[in-house]
């Protein structure tokens, strides 16, 4: 699979330049790759009897358009090119334009009055630098109001490729073919809604240029996942001794689901520390876990929980806190104690709110994996939900740099896994997961992976991937039950290992 990175405008441009300057790949060769791959996709999504109008701007995005025109022309008899600013053309575009003229491909400066079936938008790509006004704006508005199919090359023209904001006006594409890498603006703000179906094509830029980038954002794929080995001669301690702390009178299900997923995902031994008021119901539900019961008060842990944890913490290698707990002082104290220990810690749900009270403790040297959804991320960091939503990449990355021993799993319909400045994006939207309990399942898998993986980032990557793959169920998304996902974990593990 072609490794998919997401870059800002500047990084994407620097990578193009480095390919040309450092690796001496001529710009026209990259452009030819871009045009060939784009033409291939255009042929897949259109019919050759459809009419095509290619809009070419003043830069290399326009040059791509002219190269695409040259490649499509033999197959599409009704093909037309619009070049509004012939005098302003970039050097490469002048060369492409000469070839288009040699081939006698029809062109003109203005958008023709007739409507075309397909518009290929090559007005502006990664070089858009200011608001679109004047005749470009009119052209974009006219194309948007047509009922035709619009295919954008590299970016929907008018979308800022870093932040995804509309600059003046923007093409509403049905398809966008991104060249070499995804642009961050395709994933953020209005950009998300302007791309339509997004394709990514390899244009021959050396991969090393992506790998060497600081602050990488990469789409998580199966090649990034290295499931931990399970040696035949292993002992149960080989796979981690976990203590999962959680539960309250009205929420025994969360920790039960988390524990089931931890066990199905391969944890060595599992103990649940729960308030006494729910221990009976848990004992009836399952018998694979041990219980560390704590006196309760009003349905939640009593203050005895703090001493109980102190006395027992050294029996475990991994502690998770949060499933089915509540926001209160005991939760704060338990999180504080766990973070002061030398154990691997997983914080979920209200434990994330509690962590905020002693946030400097996240600068500990041992691994901490945090699994907030967007609102919990806001509780954890004090950053407003809307700010997180407008650039989750940046928020996740900044957090991971500030707390370098932590791995952040920022959950939403897309999940961002961040560690020491690198961000992975799990792009697997699934309405079946938009249900209470999905997060608890993930927490359990994280605990199990932490018990088995040597590397904390790998543990987080494996867990999020296993979670999402196990939720690929052949049933209606409305009917997902937590057990369906949990019972599918063994199939996922088997497939990933084979
Ligand atoms: N060798 C390369 O660098 C490659 C570049 N490629 C293509 O080149 C594109 C980037 O090319 P450029 O850097 O030339 O940038 P663009 O073609 O995206 O646009 C830059 C041009 O548009 C003008 N411009 C910017 N904003 C404007 C506005 N609001 N109104 C009017 N004019 C505006 C600029 O003055 C400049 O002339 C990529 O998106 C991609 O399509 C691909 O061919 C692959 C290889
Ligand atoms: N539409 C969706 N597409 C993909 N994943 C989703 C979607 N909705 C929720 N999820 C995933 O389900 C989990 C929900 O976690 P969370 O919000 O903590 O739920 P809860 O605490 O109720 O179990 C996260 O892993 C999230 O990424
Ligand atoms: K474009």
Domain boundary among 185, 212, 239: 212
Using most ligand atoms within 8 A of CB, pick from 260, 424, 438, 483 the residue to mutate for ligand 2: 438
pLDDT of residue 288: 87
CATH number, residue 325 = 3.40.1190.20
Q: Is 63 annotated as a binding residue?
A: yes
Residue 218 lies in a domain: no
Contacts of 280 (CB under 8 A, 6+ apart): none
Task: Please check whether residues 205 and 236 belong to one and the same domain.
Answer: no
Task: Please check whether residues 178 and 282 belong to one and the same domain.
Answer: no
CA–CA separation, 338 vs 390, rounded Å? 33
How many A from CA of 198 to the centre of ligand 1? Answer: 19
Counting runs of H as helices and runs of E as strands, what totals does the chain give? 18, 21
- Domain count of the fold of the chain: 2
Model ipTM value = 0.93
pLDDT of residue 357: 97
Task: Please check whether residues 411 and 462 belong to one and the same domain.
Answer: yes
How many A from CA of 31 to the centre of ligand 2? Answer: 40
Residue 170 lies in a domain: yes
What token pair was written down for 238? 């080989």
Residue nearest to atom 7 of ligand 2 (CA): 413
Note whether 450 and 367 are within 8 A (CB): yes
Residue 334 lies in a domain: yes
Residue 15 lies in a domain: yes
Residue 11 lies in a domain: yes
Task: Please check whether residues 360 and 403 belong to one and the same domain.
Answer: yes
Task: Please check whether residues 145 and 289 belong to one and the same domain.
Answer: no
Tens of pLDDT along the chain (498 residues) come to 788 999 999 999 999 999 999 999 999 999 999 999 999 999 999 999 999 999 999 999 999 999 999 999 999 999 999 999 999 999 999 999 999 999 999 999 999 999 999 999 999 999 999 999 999 999 999 999 999 999 999 999 999 999 999 999 999 999 999 999 999 999 999 999 999 999 999 999 999 999 999 889 999 999 999 999 998 998 888 899 999 999 999 999 999 999 999 999 999 999 999 999 999 999 888 888 899 999 999 999 999 999 999 999 999 999 999 999 999 999 999 999 999 999 999 999 999 999 999 999 999 999 999 999 999 999 999 999 999 999 999 999 999 999 999 999 999 999 999 999 999 999 999 999 999 999 999 999 999 999 999 999 999 999 999 999 999 999 999 999 999 999 999 999 999 999
Task: Please check whether residues 200 and 254 belong to one and the same domain.
Answer: no
Q: Is 324 annotated as a binding residue?
A: yes
Q: Which atom in ligand 1 lies closest to the alpha carbon of residue 19?
A: 1
- Give the ligand whose atoms come closest to the C-alpha of residue 430: 2
Q: Is 444 annotated as a binding residue?
A: no
Task: Please check whether residues 126 and 239 belong to one and the same domain.
Answer: no
pLDDT of residue 287: 83
Task: Please check whether residues 332 and 407 belong to one and the same domain.
Answer: yes
What token pair was written down for 399? 């957090």
Domain boundary among 212, 231, 261: 212
Contacts of 226 (CB under 8 A, 6+ apart): 458, 462
Residue 1 lies in a domain: no
Look at residues 446, 363, 360 and name the one whose alpha carbon lies nearest to residue 409: 446
Going edge to edge, which strands form the sheet with 318-321? 217-219, 422-427, 414-419, 406-410, 368-370, 344-347, 318-321, 241-245, 269-275, 290-294
pLDDT of residue 463: 98
pLDDT of residue 160: 98
Domain span at residue 123?
6-212
Domain boundary among 212, 245, 263: 212
Task: Please check whether residues 244 and 324 belong to one and the same domain.
Answer: yes
How big is the CA angle at 262 (ends 259 and 266), to the nearest 5 degrees? 140
Task: Please check whether residues 202 and 240 belong to one and the same domain.
Answer: no
CATH number, residue 143 = 3.40.50.10260
Using most ligand atoms within 8 A of CB, pick from 396, 434, 462 the residue to mutate for ligand 2: 434
Task: Please check whether residues 184 and 266 belong to one and the same domain.
Answer: no
Task: Please check whether residues 314 and 208 belong to one and the same domain.
Answer: no
Residue 60 lies in a domain: yes
How many A from CA of 126 to the centre of ligand 1? Answer: 6
Using most ligand atoms within 8 A of CB, pick from 57, 183, 195 the residue to mutate for ligand 1: 57
Note whether 263 and 236 are within 8 A (CB): no
Residue 130 lies in a domain: yes
């Amino acid at each position: 699979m072609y490794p998919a990175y997401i870059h800002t405008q500047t990084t994407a441009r620097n990578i193009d330049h480095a390919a040309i300057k450092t690796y001496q790949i001529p710009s026209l060769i990259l452009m030819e790759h871009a045009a060939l791959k784009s033409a291939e996709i255009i042929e897949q999504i259109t019919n050759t009897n459809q009419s095509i109008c290619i809009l070419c701007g003043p830069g290399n995005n326009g040059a791509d358009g002219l190269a695409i025109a040259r490649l499509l022309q033999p197959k599409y008899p009704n093909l037309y090119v619009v070049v509004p600013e012939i005098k302003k053309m970039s050097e490469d575009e002048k060369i492409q334009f000469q070839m288009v003229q040699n081939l006698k491909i029809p062109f003109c400066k203005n958008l023709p009055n007739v409507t075309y079936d397909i518009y290929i938008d090559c007005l502006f790509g990664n070089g858009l630098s200011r608001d679109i006004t004047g005749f470009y704006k009119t052209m974009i508005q006219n194309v948007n109001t047509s009922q035709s199919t619009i295919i954008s090359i590299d970016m929907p023209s008018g979308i800022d490729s870093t932040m995804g904001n509309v600059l003046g006006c923007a093409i509403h594409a049905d398809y966008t073919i991104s060249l070499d890498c995804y642009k961050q603006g395709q994933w953020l703000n209005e950009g998300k809604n302007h791309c339509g179906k997004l394709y990514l094509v390899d244009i021959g830029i050396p991969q090393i240029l992506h790998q060497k980038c600081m602050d990488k954002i990469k789409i998580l794929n199966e090649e990034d996942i290295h499931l931990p080995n399970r040696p035949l001669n292993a002992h149960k301690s080989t796979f981690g001794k976990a203590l999962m702390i959680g539960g309250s009178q009205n929420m025994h299900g969360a920790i039960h689901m988390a524990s089931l997923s931890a066990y199905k995902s391969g944890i060595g031994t599992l103990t649940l520390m729960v308030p006494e008021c729910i221990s009976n119901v848990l004992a009836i539900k399952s018998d694979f876990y041990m219980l560390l019961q704590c006196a309760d008060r009003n349905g939640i842990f009593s203050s005895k929980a703090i001493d109980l944890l102190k006395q027992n913490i050294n029996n475990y290698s991994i502690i998770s806190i949060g499933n089915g707990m509540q926001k209160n002082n005991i939760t704060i104290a338990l999180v504080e104690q766990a973070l002061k220990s030398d154990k691997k810690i997983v914080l979920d749900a209200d434990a994330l709110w509690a962590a905020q009270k002693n946030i400097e403790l996240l600068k500990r040297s041992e691994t901490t994996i945090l699994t907030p959804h967007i609102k919990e991320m806001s509780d954890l960091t004090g950053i407003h939900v809307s700010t997180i939503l407008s650039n989750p990449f940046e928020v996740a990355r900044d957090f991971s740099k500030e707390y370098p021993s932590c791995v952040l799993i920022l959950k939403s319909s897309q999940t961002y896994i961040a560690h020491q400045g690198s961000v992975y994006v799990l792009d697997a939207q699934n309405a079946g997961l938009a249900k209470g309990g999905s997060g608890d399942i993930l927490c359990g898998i994280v605990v199990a992976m932490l018990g088995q993986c040597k590397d904390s980032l790998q543990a987080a990557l494996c867990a999020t991937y296993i979670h999402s793959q196990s939720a690929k169920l052949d049933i209606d998304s409305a009917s997902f039950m937590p057990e369906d996902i949990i019972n599918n974990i063994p199939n996922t593990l088997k497939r990933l290992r084979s």
